[in-house]
Amino acid sequence: MTSRHRPSENTVPSAADGANTRIPSRRTVVKAAAAGAVLAAPLAAALPAGAADSAPAFPHGVASGDPLPDGVLLWTRVTPTPESIPGSGAGPDTEVSWVVATDKAFTDIVTKGSTTATAASDHTVKADVRGLSPATDYWFRFSAGPTDSPAARTRTAPAADAAVAGLRFGVVSCSNWEAGHFSSYRHLATRGDLDAWLHLGDYIYEYGTGGYGNRDTVVRPHAPAHEILTLADYRVRHGRYKTDPDLQALHAAAPVVAIWDDHEIANDAWSGGAGNHTEGAEGTWAARQAAAKQAYFEWMPVRPAIAGTTYRRLRFGKLADLSLLDLRSFRSQQVALGDGEVDDPERTLTGRAQLDWLKSNLASSDTTWRLVGNSVMISPFAIGSIPAELLKPLAELLGLPKEGLALNTDQWDGYTDDRRELLAHLRANAVRNTVFLTGDIHMAWANDVPHNAATYPLSASAATEFVVTSVTSDNLDDILKVPEGTVSAIAAPVIRAANRHVHWVDTDRHGYGVLDITADRTQMDYYVVSDRTEPDATSKWARSYRTRSGTQRVERVYSPV
């Protein structure tokens, strides 16, 4: 049996690092419905018809996450009685057992156990199973009374000192329930070759029905229908998402490694507030943030990491380690441009402790590849001479001032001192093979991360970055309500001309990525779906880009792995 691998232990970050005390402006004010009877209907809507009867049920599926060489975190949610629906606070304590086997028929059981699901945790269950073998497929399921959950596959990470030939991860971000169906998840689930899949943020959205972009068409309504504010609200929304059959299928196919971005809490969240939160009218930010985070850790197969955030580190043999960031809990408030505050060294995106932790991880890593799970784009972005008819929707999508200034202050562009310090650290310590994996902006990108964008490509690249598009959330063609591909044909050449470190950008399509890693290269294969509004949407390969070991540069590849 290999020795147990655990995430690195680190100093607890300060939640107040660099925080700005200004109250953010409100993008959308949607008041929540009152508690009690008004809450009952959306709570019930989160449970599929007929799922709960007199026996316990598992209508939200099962999942696993955060694989280690000797273990994995298992998750489910049991509905013990018909009234025990998500967010209700109702229902009895229920014993839930779990079993892990090497085969789907469960003839070779390697470990089992039990725990108690209670209303205090919304009847969600986690089992942090250890004592498993590294780099091994397992099957697991839960049981409550006479009811078994669906069976699911998971996989442990390779041993810390193992020479690993290759790894393959699915990569996704930004899944707005109302905007469409999650066919990207289905296509990843059916591959059957994933070691794990990464969700880089915006797993859920907090808006009320019709409150967020979907080409003015609600494909399927949220539950609850109002903007989520309370612990019960967030539990109901997570419960709604977990009823999606494609999401359930992917969770049952491979372990997930997830971080949050802003919409798991509220749009444009920062340490002291959010663009989509009105202090007082919607309660306190502290209470809303605490409720959102509690529900997240209840409903996601994620280990609460340092200070109850999502930043943590996983290792996959000698081939790669993965530093996962929390870029919402410690950041200073976003600023408008033009006053120089984006360069203020007192402002921070990461918080001091997290940035020091990341720098230490990258410099001390002895793996071939250093992956960074990064919820907002680190590559600099200038708009350039984009036509007027495209500037306003691009600014809306990226959160830019409508005047079309050159930066997105919600990304690393708004916190340039943190970025300079990190990239200077990579150069000073000769850190190579750093790859940022990013979501957030509903577009696909393949970027070099330059030390100096103004002189690039004559100057050096510090790292590379692969940004995946959204699963369903609006991108530029959706905002403009034009046929797919229309905007990219015009905007992409202009974006690339103004940003010479950008090798490719697709502003219009929805889909997912598959990251394939060997000792020689890390390659991202980008896939797109035919129609986000169709539950049976097809998938096709769009582009592939790779970075070769030691180069810190992206190059196009003309076939997927």
Render pLDDT for 248-301 as a digit per residue (tens, 0 to 9): 999 999 999 999 999 999 999 999 999 999 999 999 999 999 999 999 999 999
380 and 266 co-located in one domain:
yes
Residue 185 in domain? yes
Helix (H/G/I), strand (E/B), else coil: 508:
coil
Burial of 338 (0-12, 13-18, 19+ CB in 10 A): exposed
Compute the distance between CA of residue 200 and CA of residue 263 in angstroms, rounded to an integer: 12
Q: How many CB atoms lie within 10 A of CB 345?
A: 12
Residue 48 in domain? no
Q: How many domains does the chain have?
A: 2
CATH number at residue 491: 3.60.21.70
Segment among 22-26, 358-362, 367-371 with least mean pLDDT: 22-26
Contact between 507 and 476 under an 8 Å Cβ cutoff? The reply is: yes
Q: Is 428 left (phi over 0), alpha (psi -120 to 50) or beta?
A: alpha
Domain boundary among 116, 131, 155: 155
Q: How far is CA 389 from the centre of its chain?
A: 31
pLDDT at 386: 62
415 and 535 co-located in one domain:
yes
pLDDT over 80 (residue 306): no
Which range in 37-41, 140-144, 210-214, 450-454 is most confidently predicted, on average pLDDT?
Answer: 140-144
Tokens 């809306």 map to which residue?
A: 396
130 and 265 co-located in one domain:
no
261 and 401 co-located in one domain:
yes
Residue 9 in domain? no
133 and 214 co-located in one domain:
no
pLDDT at 490: 86
Report the DSSP beta bridge partners of residue 517: 167, 522
Cβ contacts of residue 49 below 8 Å, gap of 6+?
A: none
pLDDT, tens digit (0-9, with 9 covering 90-100), for 48-77: 444 445 799 999 999 999 999 999 999 999
Average pLDDT, stretch 480-491?
87
217 and 82 co-located in one domain:
no
230 and 352 co-located in one domain:
yes
Judge if pTM exceeds 0.85: yes
Compute the distance between CA of residue 430 and CA of residue 233 in angstroms, rounded to an integer: 47
Helix (H/G/I), strand (E/B), else coil: 541:
strand
pLDDT band at 500 (very low <50, low <70, confident <90, very high): very high
Pair of tokens at residue 490: 């015009």
Residue 28 in domain? no
Q: Which of 281, 207, 275 is nearest to 24 (CA)?
A: 275
Q: How far is CA 205 from the centre of its chain?
A: 12
540 and 467 co-located in one domain:
yes
Average pLDDT of the chain, as a whole number: 88
Q: Which helix (H) or strand (E) holds 86?
A: none
Residue 8 in domain? no
3-state helix, strand, coil in the chain (%, to 5): 20, 25, 55
Higher-confidence residue: 428 or 455?
Answer: 428
Sign of CA dihedral 157, 161, 167, 172: positive
176 and 133 co-located in one domain:
no
438 and 305 co-located in one domain:
yes
DSSP string, 354-416: HHHHHHHHHHH--SSEEEEEESS--S-----S--HHHHHHHHHHHT--TT--S--TTSGGG-H
How many residues are present in the chain? 561
3-state secondary structure 275-335: CCCCCEECECHHHHHHHHHHHHHHHCCCCCCHHHCCCEEEEECCCEEEEECCCCCCCCCCC
Residue 36 in domain? no
Average pLDDT, stretch 148-166?
98
pLDDT, tens digit (0-9, with 9 covering 90-100), for 509-559: 999 999 999 999 999 999 999 999 999 999 999 999 999 999 999 999 999
Q: Which of 210, 215, 331, 314 is nearest to 275 (CA)?
A: 331
Domain boundary among 125, 155, 185: 155
Average pLDDT, stretch 14-23?
33
pLDDT band at 398 (very low <50, low <70, confident <90, very high): low
Burial of 89 (0-12, 13-18, 19+ CB in 10 A): middle
pLDDT at 337: 66
Helix (H/G/I), strand (E/B), else coil: 427:
helix
Cβ contacts of residue 532 below 8 Å, gap of 6+?
A: 179, 180, 181, 183, 219, 471, 472, 510
CATH number at residue 110: 2.60.40.380
pLDDT at 21: 32
pLDDT band at 329 (very low <50, low <70, confident <90, very high): very high
Compute the distance between CA of residue 223 and CA of residue 204 in angstroms, rounded to an integer: 11
- Name the pairing type of β-strands 196-199 and 167-172: parallel
**Percent of the chain residues topping a pLDDT of 90:** 76
Compute the distance between CA of residue 168 and CA of residue 513 in angstroms, rounded to an integer: 10
pLDDT over 70 (residue 4): no
pLDDT, tens digit (0-9, with 9 covering 90-100), for 80-120: 999 999 999 999 999 999 999 999 999 999 999 999 999 99
295 and 396 co-located in one domain:
yes
Residue 18 in domain? no
What phi, psi does 226 have (nearest 5°)? Answer: -90, 170
237 and 133 co-located in one domain:
no
pLDDT band at 34 (very low <50, low <70, confident <90, very high): very low
What is the domain range of residue 124?
53-155
Compute the distance between CA of residue 307 and CA of residue 295 in angstroms, rounded to an integer: 16
Residue 561 in domain? no
Q: Which helix (H) or strand (E) holds 116?
A: strand 109-117
pLDDT at 339: 57
Domain boundary among 132, 155, 178: 155
What is the 8-class DSSP label of residue 104? T
